[in-house]
A = this chain, B = another copy of it.
Amino acid sequence: MDIRKLVVEFVGTFFLVFTIGMVVIAPGADALAPLAIGSVLMVMVFAGGHISGAHYNPAVTFSLLLRGLIEINEAIGYWIVQIIAAVIAALFVGMIKPDMPADVMVGSVGIVPVFLAEFLFTFVLVYVIHNVATAKANDGNSFYGLAIGFTVLAGAYAVGGVSGGAFNPAVFIGGAVMKIFSWGYSWLYFLAQLTAAASAAFLFNYVDDGK
């Protein structure tokens, strides 16, 4: 296990969740929150990609594990660090912005739309990551961070009003600490995100010829 990779995962996940908390719990700024969130993910991917692979998302780590691009020991380390970073980020948001919102998500929308929203955009996020960051045909490109970050931007605009736009179990956990998401629906989000990650890994293996 390489501690340096875990540190990079911590930094990236921390700033992703911290930024989400700061821009979502901000009356009036909501319309541009996805731009801020997509941008911070982009910059953390560009910054940390060469060291840890820049997952910052347990579902991404899971899909890379399924493809054999990370070993189980290291994946467990990534998951633990990602979750700890998300919780600490949520606590920092609480220190800076004491007024946390009450739960607002899911209840009013229904389980099927939330599942679809989280499944579809976690799927496309993981599909984009496999293609831009692991496909041999795209070796050495300079767009991988932009593609990954702005997938979340598009998803947040598309389905943010339905599921809150987590696409990431660590974001869900950090968001639940901040009361953006409700703990009672964690099974729904995790199920959607992990099945999406597995589906995207499977699809990538089928469509990419490895050259």
Residues of A in contact with B (beta carbons under 8 Å apart): 4, 7-8, 11, 15, 18-19, 22-23, 26, 28-29, 31-40, 42-44, 46-48, 50-51, 92, 95-96, 112-113, 116-117, 120, 124, 127-128, 131-132, 135, 137-138, 141-148, 150-151, 153-154, 157-159, 161-162, 203, 206-209
Contact = CB atoms under 8 A, between A and B. Distances in A.
24 contacts: A7-B207, A8-B207, A11-B127, A19-B158, A22-B158, A31-B31, A36-B157, A38-B39, A40-B158, A42-B150, A43-B148, A43-B150, A46-B131, A46-B132, A46-B141, A47-B128, A50-B135, A51-B131, A92-B116, A95-B113, A96-B113, A96-B117, A142-B143, A146-B146
A127 B141 CA distance: 21
Contacts of A29: 31, 157, 161
B34 A31 contact: no
A44 B155 CA distance: 12
Contact of A131 (B48, B143, B151): B48
The 10 closest A-B pairs by CB, nearest first: A36-B157, A50-B137, A142-B142, A40-B154, A22-B158, A47-B131, A46-B147, A39-B150, A39-B154, A96-B113
Mostly helix, strand, loop or mixed at chain A's interface? Answer: helix
A96 to B, nearest CB: 4
Contacts of A161: 26, 29
Contact of A157 (B33, B124, B206): B33
